[in-house]
Amino acid sequence: MNSQLKDLQKLLYRLITAPSGVAEGLGAERALPAGGLGALVEGDERLSAEARLEVYADMYFYRLLEVLKEDYPATSTVLGEANFHNLITAYLVEHRPCEPSVRGAGKCLPDFLRRHPLRAELPFVAELAMLERATAEVFCAPDTSLLEASQMNALRPKLWSAVKMRRIPASAVLRAQWGVVEVLRAVEEERDWKPPRRARNWILVWRSNSRVSYREIDSNQAAALTMLARTTGFAKVCEVLARGLPPDQAPQTIGDTFARWLAEGLITRALRGKRDRPRSLP
């Protein structure tokens, strides 16, 4: 019986997800019984068997289109309704949802856009999607305890260099070739967006007090925060933040940067091995 039910479910799956609709899917089917779909599904004068299955096909596509529009509001705004519709039609052929949560449906869209012809017209759009995806992932990334400024201040300065730390899990450092931060900000603030400048930049995305923020950061911060994806000593962090700075400016810049990170809730105390237990400060 299972094989019969399995064949039925696989057939319905293929027909519901056929990119141009159930009729096209039926045309491509070689496994239909004599009598076609009508031999499996009842139809009547109100709705044929094909029309009944088309109800599911429409719901499949339009539900996912709506979800992806919500997940990528700026990308869909920049592309426009028709382009986004066609993009998602093609995307769902290549990236069929397979996770229990619909949150996972759009996770490959940034990579898909990197290879899509729309990129010729809007070369920044894949990076805009990458930024939106990062904000979604950071939104529900694991919680963690924060390293507080007061904990650092309680230490004698000569002990600071030995403090082990890392970046919170609810954060990401992105490298971009286009100034997409301003595009996303404009769409979120319901302002007119302008095509961004082309210039290499780094973007920090992080969650603090349940709110996801993002901003451009300089190359030293990007290098230090990338390194802080793993447990790192404060001395090493300082060394990276000081790169290229005149020696008389370095302490002030490092101090300001690190104070800002702590205030923004970006840094956690280092965890101990697999058990993820906070390690005591030295």
Partner 1 sequence: MKRTAFPFLGFGVGLRRPHYAHILEQRPAMDWYEVISENFMVAGGRPLEVLAAVRDRHPLVLHGVSLSIGTTDPLNRKYLAELRTLAKRIEPAWISDHLCWTGVGGHNLHDLLPLPYTAEVVRHVARRIREVQDFLERPILLENVSSYLTFRDSTLSEWEFVRAVTEEADCGILLDINNIFVNAFNHRFSAEAYLDAIPVERVAQFHLAGHSDHGTHLLDTHDHPVCEEVWALYQHAVRRFGAVSTLIEWDDKIPEFDVLAETAQRARRICEATVGACMTGDELSAQRPAETAVSAHYRA
Q: Which residues bind partner 1 (CB under 8 A)?
A: 1-2, 5-6, 8-10, 12-13, 16-17, 39-42, 46-47, 49, 51-53, 55-56, 59-60, 63-64, 67, 96-103, 105, 139-144, 169-170, 207, 210
Min separation Cβ 97 and partner 1, Å: 5
Element housing 204 (H / E): strand 198-208
* 136 versus 223: smaller Cβ distance to partner 1: 136
Q: How far is CA 267 from CA 73, 133, 230, 234, 250, in A?
A: 29, 22, 11, 11, 20
Show Cβ contacts of residue 37 under 8 Å, excluding neighbours closer than 6 positions.
15, 22, 26, 49, 50, 53
According to DSSP, residue 195 is labeled: P
- Of 14, 215, 39, 206, the C-alpha closest to 96 is 14
Which lies closer to partner 1 via its Cβ, residue 55 or residue 199? Answer: 55
Q: Which is nearer to partner 1, 48 or 253 (CB)?
A: 48
The minimum distance between CB 59 and partner 1, in angstroms, equals 6
CB of 101 to partner 1, least distance (A): 4
End-to-end CA distance of the chain: 65
The DSSP line for 83-145 is HHHHHHHHHHHHS---SSSGGGGGTTHHHHHHTSTHHHH-TTHHHHHHHHHHHHHHHTSPP-P
- Minimum distance of partner 1 from residue 254's CB (angstroms): 30
Shortest Cβ 163–partner 1 spacing (Å): 24
Shorter beta-carbon distance to partner 1: residue 48 or 177: 48
Q: Would you say 88 or 254 has its CB closer to partner 1?
A: 88
90 by Cβ neighbours in 10 Å (0-12 / 13-18 / 19+) ranks as: middle
Question: What does the block give as tokens for 233?
Answer: 């000593």
| Nearest approach, Cβ of residue 196 and partner 1 (Å) | 28
Closest CB to partner 1 among residues 47, 154 = 47
